[in-house]
Amino acid sequence: MCYDHAMMKLGVIGCGQMGRALLGGILRACVVREADVYLFNRTPEACSQIVREFPSVHVCGSIREMAALADMVILSVKPAGVCSALAELASAEGKKPCVLSIAAGVTLATMQSCAPELRMVRAMPNTPALVGMGASSFCGGSLATQDDLAAARRLLEAVGIAVELPEEKIHAVIGVAGSAPAYMFTILDAMADAGVSLGLTRGDALKLATQTMLGSARLVQESGRHPMELRDAVTSPGGTTIAALNAMDAHNLRYAVIAGVREAARKSEEMSRGQS
């Protein structure tokens, strides 16, 4: 189907943290009108936080009710609840909405086996989406149209960036982006600890380290230069930066990061096989 984004009617099944974050970004970016949003949660009270912030959204009494109203439905439930939600969507009479699933670890094949007639897009956002700085990948099922994929991209870009990739790449995405906020938090904590050991307060050390990480990432994004080129630009012969880098190399920092990313991807693939 062809979407008029200003008129798209959006459903959200599951009003947990990531569902709320994605919907909040979508509404604040004016991608969908507040009055064109329909919520469903097994525990209706879970929708109350969204309704307080966006009072014109609608709370549905059932998934089947939502299916009759929405053009696209964000599925934001735990993996164990995916099949039952899809089956309810598929059982609704009339037109069927496209499903944008952000359920972790549930493959398109698994979802298609639960509801073969539904159009589906699978997405993998990460937690910085909570502050509008997420990095998501997405891929379409066999029935998804180009309009479905364009609509999914527009929704995901409301909370960061979105990259369309084949589903088999999702394990690599989890290693590089999905699990990666934890790596960044660990590095920030280590830098703050080092600052404290050198006489800074923890608050000052963490503030400085956090801003440095933000600024360095922005510099890579906006300059278009390779990270190693930017690193070389601030590494003077015989100076403090090369001394620090040499010390980190001695402790295999680079290889530890690569090993961690690869292990996250391996574990994701293992868990995905368990879901099949």
Which pair of tokens denotes residue 50?
Answer: 């969204």
pLDDT value at 6 more than 80: no
Q: Which of 218, 100, 200 is nearest to 150 (CA)?
A: 100
Neighbours of 274 (CB within 10 A): 9
For the segment 134-154, the average pLDDT, to the nearest whole number, is 96
- Contact by Cβ (8 Å): 137, 124: yes
Looking at domain 5-170, its CATH class is: alpha beta
Instruction: Specify the 3-state DSSP secondary structure of 236.
Output: coil
Q: Is the dihedral of CA 149, 101, 24, 1 positive or negative?
A: positive
CATH of domain 178-272: 1.10.3730.10
According to the model, what pLDDT value does residue 276 have? 55
Q: How far apart are CA 214 and CA 191, in angstroms?
A: 14
Q: pLDDT by residue (tens digit) across 148-190?
A: 999 999 999 999 999 999 999 999 999 999 999 999 999 999 9
For the segment 93-118, the average pLDDT, to the nearest whole number, is 93
What are the start and end residues of each CATH 3.40.50.720 domain in the chain? Answer: 5-170
Instruction: Specify the 3-state DSSP secondary structure of 77.
Output: coil
Q: How far apart are CA 176 and CA 193, in angstroms?
A: 25
Q: How far apart are CA 181 and CA 260, in angstroms?
A: 12
Q: pLDDT by residue (tens digit) across 201-228?
A: 999 999 999 999 999 999 999 999 999 9
For the segment 30-40, the average pLDDT, to the nearest whole number, is 94
Q: How far apart are CA 222 and CA 92, in angstroms?
A: 47
What are the start and end residues of each CATH 1.10.3730.10 domain in the chain? Answer: 178-272
For the segment 255-259, the average pLDDT, to the nearest whole number, is 97
For the segment 235-246, the average pLDDT, to the nearest whole number, is 97
Helices (H) and strands (E) in the chain, counts: 12, 8
According to the model, what pLDDT value does residue 275 have? 63
Name, of 17-31, 44-58, 114-128, the range with top average pLDDT.
114-128
Please state the residue numbers annotated as binding site for NADP(+): 13-18
Please state the residue numbers annotated as binding site: 13-18
Which pair of tokens denotes residue 211?
Answer: 């801003």
